[in-house]
Structure 1
Amino acid sequence: MSDPTRTSQSTRHATDPAGAAARTPAAAVAPMSRHPLAAAFRLLITAAALTGLVLAATGTTGPAQLLTRFTVQANIAAALVFACSAHRAWTGHHPVSPRIAGALVPFLSLPALLHYVLPAADSTAFTLPTTASGAAQAVSHQLLYTLMPLAVLADWLLLTTPRGFRLSYAWQWPAYPLLYLAFALAFPAATGAPSPTVTTALTLALALCALPLITIGTDQVRPAPRLHNNRISPTGIGPLK
């Protein structure tokens, strides 16, 4: 009679193709699935972010000073992440980590919230500098304050599976914005914006902590999107068909 233990050991150390296939994880041999529509949508998001940044730079007398603004930094990060996500969706590789891609939701929602809901905080370093009105400035504001947050929300809600965000992201995502807020309070001249008042700073800190919690909570209860052919987040393993 054969020994089951010995059989499993020999299978584990087998060097023939059958033994190698038995030891290879299923995820390593799964066929890559390309998502061209998701890739095209993310390329459009990248183009919108870059266009808004260029127009914002042309509408100010100090383009280099814009790099110190949180809105500009968040949109540069969005352009890089979505360009990488578009490439991965087109080639069928694994999507960008939810820890990185998901952080864009609160990062881009905060400037829009300050611009449209909290006018008192619209002059802080978290938003674009207030300059003379012009066509380029108006278009850049629409792209960076309106289109980009809505596009990121649409990408998250329509092209990713729910329950991909972890609770640990609730303290990881606000880390940089809170450090930026502390920097803006300590060195307002370096950001090119007036130092926020105590009330404004507390409001910003509260928003920075609340937005990740709202995003993670919404991700836990939202329904799964129906765009199965273009959804890029990994799904669970189902039965064989």
Structure 2
Amino acid sequence: MSDPTRTSQSTRHATGPAGAAARTPAAAVAPTSRHPLAAAFRLLITAAALTGLVLAALGTAAPAQLLTRFTVQANLAAAVISACSAHRAWTGRHPVSPRIAGALVPFLALPALLHHVLPAADTTAFTVPATSTSGFAQALSPQLLYTVTPLATLADWLLLTTPRGLRPSYAWQWPAYPLLYLAFALALPAATGAPSPTVASAVTLGLAICTLPLVTIGIDQVRPAPRLHNNRISPTGISPLK
């Protein structure tokens, strides 16, 4: 792949205005590419995550203790990173690093998987405790935290990001924090306000933590790339026709 910041041998010895223009990196003169629709969609992700967190806090007697739950931490990260990504898409700046933005997919998928597929592990510190009161707001919070935000983040990653941006090294970097959190939940269950996971639940959590990044990276390698239109109106090299 060619480097837009380097110049070819034919342009290195060019003189005059043509030579100066030829030696200018293409990235320095490329127009700003703004994506307002992507920015709006990512703001909706931020709003969904924050709304679910606020409703969860209103339905518990100890809102501050929710910060020790993995679901709350993952949704807070989704809200902050999606807001940052929305700003960058609106202003045309470079997107957030795939190392950070891509980590949201397995981080949000883990509590969603526990809530929808593994109800036996739904009482661990990886999920939000059930509220003692009933009502529409309390029923809406789990839907936002376990369904809407994870699915919207997955759609953002699949449809609005360039594929094959995730590196194999992320497969051991991303599980580092969830595994440390699992060890913390096993060693100090009172600090999280949740019962200690059983041996079966701990093994299931460990396998899910290590498998989800592998699945995410594998999908990233085979998903189709969006069609990019070439907006360059002339070649970057020198020719008699320029």
Change beyond 3 A, Cα 1:23–1:240: closer
Deviations 1:27-55 (A, max 9, x none): 23211100000000011111111100000
Structure 1 Cα separation of the partners of residues 194 and 111 of structure 2: 14
Amino acid at match of 2:157: W
Written as runs of structure 1 = structure 2, the 5 A alignment for 1:87-126 is 87-126=87-126
Which residue in the other structure is 1:232 paired with?
A: none
Across the two proteins, how many residue pairs are aligned to each other? 225
Alignment partner of 1:105: what SS? helix
Alignment partner of 2:217: what SS? helix
2:139 corresponds to 1:138? yes
Which residue in the other structure is 2:168 paired with?
A: 167
Gaps of 5+ in 2: 1-8, 237-242
Written as runs of structure 1 = structure 2, the 5 A alignment for 1:202-217 is 202-217=203-218
How far apart are residue 24 of structure 1 and its match? 3.8
Structure 2 Cα separation of the partners of residues 105 and 91 of structure 1: 24
Amino acid at match of 2:149: M
Given that residues 39 and 85 in structure 1 are in contact (C-alpha distance below 8 angstroms), is that contact kept between their aligned partners in structure 2? Answer: yes
Structure 1 Cα separation of the partners of residues 233 and 157 of structure 2: 23
How far apart are residue 21 of structure 1 and its match? 4.5
Deviations 1:48-67 (A, max 9, x none): 11100000000100000000
Change beyond 3 A, Cα 1:61–1:27: same
- Seq. identity, %: 80
Which residue in the other structure is 2:224 paired with?
A: 223
Alignment partner of 2:141: what SS? helix
How far apart are residue 142 of structure 1 and its match? 0.5
Deviations 1:56-107 (A, max 9, x none): 0001000000000000000000000000000000000000000000000000
Which residue in the other structure is 1:32 paired with?
A: 32
TM score, norm. by length of structure 1: 0.86
Q: Is 62-71 or 25-34 further displaced after alignment? A: 25-34
Structure 1 Cα separation of the partners of residues 234 and 153 of structure 2: 33
TM score, norm. by length of structure 2: 0.86
Alignment partner of 2:66: what SS? helix
Given that residues 109 and 149 in structure 1 are in contact (C-alpha distance below 8 angstroms), is that contact kept between their aligned partners in structure 2? Answer: yes
Change beyond 3 A, Cα 1:38–1:186: same
2:108 corresponds to 1:73? no
Deviations 1:101-151 (A, max 9, x none): 000000001111000111111000000012323322210000000101110
